[in-house]
Copies of this chain bind each other. A is one copy, B any other.
Amino acid sequence: MLVVDDDPQLRRALRITLRAAGFDVVTAEDGRTALAEAAAAHPDLVVLDLGLPDLDGTEVLAGLRPWFTGPVVVLSARGDSSDKVGALDAGADDYVTKPFDMPELLARLRVALRRATPLPGEPVVQTDHFTVDLAARQVTVDGVPVRLTPTEWALLSELVRAPGRLIGQRDLLKSVWGPAYERETNYLRVYLAQLRRKLEPDPAHPRYLHTEPGMGYRFTP
């Protein structure tokens, strides 16, 4: 996160508050260093004061926008409508007039970040032989998609969400079939066999979906 302001006190206040909110903060006190810092640090978001000593804030914005796709939140002492419209149309994502309320600014920064990062994408689990895309709900073996039934998918995703860790049969039964089925270990046997038949190169000698007798099952990538 890059904070651009010429007032040392405000810079300091913002840095402390934003750090407390969990952000990494770098600062700049004028337009030129702001552009340099932005290029060097690749911030997720820029807080930009319009009243700078060297460059006009709108020039900084114009210098930023051709390549910087993250959100820019503008601070300004001037509250004229034309100023606001100009900055917003020039690429700013929000316009906050000074003096501002710190909790509100933080909320607006959260909104800007929320919009900019589309989804907290779920991971893709890979082995030498097959891949499991948890977000897309797709499994491919040697590159070709494989169809799984809902129960097979529920079981597999439980296993691959904890790579290398052993999962007890009771835990698996609870999370796939519900808490009422804690004792029906036959289900597990049947569906593990099904998964191995669809995923393992040699279902008789599993390389990825291992059985720990008496304990549970384990997925090893």
A→B interface (CB under 8 Å): 69, 71, 81-82, 84-85, 88-89, 92-94, 101, 103-104, 106-108, 110-111, 115-116, 118, 120, 135-138, 147, 149-150, 153, 164-166, 212-216, 218
In the complex the two chains form, what is the Cα distance from A147 to B220 in whole Å? Answer: 14
Residues on the B chain within 8 Å of A110, using CB: 88-89
Which of B89, B120, B137, B213 is within 8 Å of A107, CB to CB?
Answer: B89
Which of B93, B108, B135, B215 is within 8 Å of A115, CB to CB?
Answer: B93
- A212-B147 contact in complex given A115-B93, A165-B137, C-beta closer than 8 Å: yes
- Copies of chain A in the complex: 2
Q: In the complex, what's the smallest C-beta–C-beta distance from A43 to chain B, in angstroms?
A: 17
Question: Does the CB pair B89–A104 fall under 8 Å?
Answer: no
Question: Does the CB pair B69–A120 fall under 8 Å?
Answer: yes
Question: Does the CB pair B149–A213 fall under 8 Å?
Answer: yes
Residues on the B chain within 8 Å of A111, using CB: 88, 92-94
In the complex the two chains form, what is the Cα distance from A192 to B10 in whole Å? Answer: 56
Nearest-neighbor residue (CB-CB) of A71 within chain B: B115
Residues on the B chain within 8 Å of A116, using CB: 115
The 4 closest A-B pairs by CB, nearest first: A137-B166, A150-B214, A88-B107, A85-B107
Which of B69, B71, B103 is within 8 Å of A85, CB to CB?
Answer: B103
Q: In the complex, what's the smallest C-beta–C-beta distance from A122 to chain B, in angstroms?
A: 10
In the complex the two chains form, what is the Cα distance from A216 to B136 in whole Å? Answer: 11
